[in-house]
């Protein structure tokens, strides 16, 4: 176990070939909504790039120089196209907006005292078995009494509905089970800089558990080593 976790500590292995032997919360949406895309390379979105920048700046600032920032007004300019080389990069105005959110969260005594509490650990990997299938997870922050996941959002008042759409419920279930601690989201609105702490109810976690079970059932049917069904014959069902 220790050797596996040490290897998964490195993002190169966690997100690379070695880590793909495990399912993770990032697979839940694909397995439930479009299993034919399971295993295909996921195109990085602007929200993903912004999320990585926020996390790295908050928790692993030594990696912040890995991000290339472009001094361009938009991605349609020649300056951006010449520098990006086809990659998705942050514009200066986007990184500056994120920097304001980062400084705001760091400057909030209530949240930062927990994020940077004594003995807090960052980017901690763990593996575990759910419904007969091995999963991996990497927690943003582990403190003595909880797991903390930091997120940015737009329209923080709608975070509750987004939590279901983006499978934060299954994330909370997986991580709280892997680490044996309560799970909380610390969220900041990128526009207003309003911050909110979200704790997870038993109902929220149960909903996440149901998603994980359903996703594992799909994986077993189409992608497990002994699977015999054709994923292209899959038909989703829903009761209205």
Q: What is the mean pLDDT of residues 110-123?
A: 97
Domain spans of the chain, in order of start: 2-233
What is the per-residue pLDDT for 229? Answer: 94
Tokens 């292209």 label which residue?
232
Model confidence at 41, pLDDT cuts 50, 70, 90, reads: confident
Query: Each residue of 195-228: pLDDT tens digit?
Result: 999 999 999 999 999 999 999 999 999 999 999 9
Neighbours of 150 (CB within 10 A): 20
| Rounded distance between C-alpha atoms, residue 46 and residue 195, angstroms | 21
Quick one: CA dihedral 94, 100, 104, 107, positive or negative? positive
Query: Each residue of 220-238: pLDDT tens digit?
Result: 999 999 999 999 999 888 8
Query: Beta 69-70 vs 90-91: how paired, if at all?
Result: parallel
Query: Each residue of 135-184: pLDDT tens digit?
Result: 999 999 999 999 999 999 999 999 999 999 999 999 999 999 999 999 99
Query: 91 - beta bridge partners?
Result: 70
Name the CATH topology of 2-233: Lambda Exonuclease; Chain A (3.90.320)
pLDDT at 43 over 90: no
pTM attached to this predicted model: 0.93
Q: What H or E segment, with its residue span, contains residue 105?
A: helix 92-106
């Amino acid at each position: 176990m220790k050797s596996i976790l040490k290897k998964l500590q490195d993002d190169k292995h966690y997100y690379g070939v070695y880590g793909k032997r495990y399912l993770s919360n990032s697979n839940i949406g694909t397995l439930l909504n479009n299993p034919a895309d399971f295993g295909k390379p996921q195109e990085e979105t602007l929200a993903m790039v912004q999320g990585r920048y926020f996390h790295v700046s908050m928790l692993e600032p030594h990696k912040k120089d890995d991000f290339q920032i472009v001094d361009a007004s938009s991605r349609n300019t020649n300056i951006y196209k010449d520098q990006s080389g086809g990659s998705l990069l942050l514009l200066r105005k986007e990184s500056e907006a994120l920097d304001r959110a980062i400084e705001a969260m760091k400057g909030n005594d209530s949240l930062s005292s927990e994020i940077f509490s004594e003995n807090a650990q960052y980017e901690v990997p763990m593996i575990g078995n759910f419904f007969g299938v091995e999963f991996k997870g990497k927690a943003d922050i582990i403190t003595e009494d909880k797991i903390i996941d930091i997120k940015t959002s737009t329209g923080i008042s709608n975070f509750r509905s987004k939590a279901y759409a983006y499978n934060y419920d299954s994330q909370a279930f997986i991580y709280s089970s892997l680490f044996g601690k309560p799970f909380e989201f610390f969220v900041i609105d990128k526009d207003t800089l309003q911050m909110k702490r979200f704790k997870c109810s038993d109902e929220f976690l149960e909903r996440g558990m149901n998603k994980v079970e359903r996703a594992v059932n799909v994986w077993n049917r189409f992608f497990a080593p002994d699977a015999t069904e054709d994923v292209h014959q899959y038909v989703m069902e829903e009761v209205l």
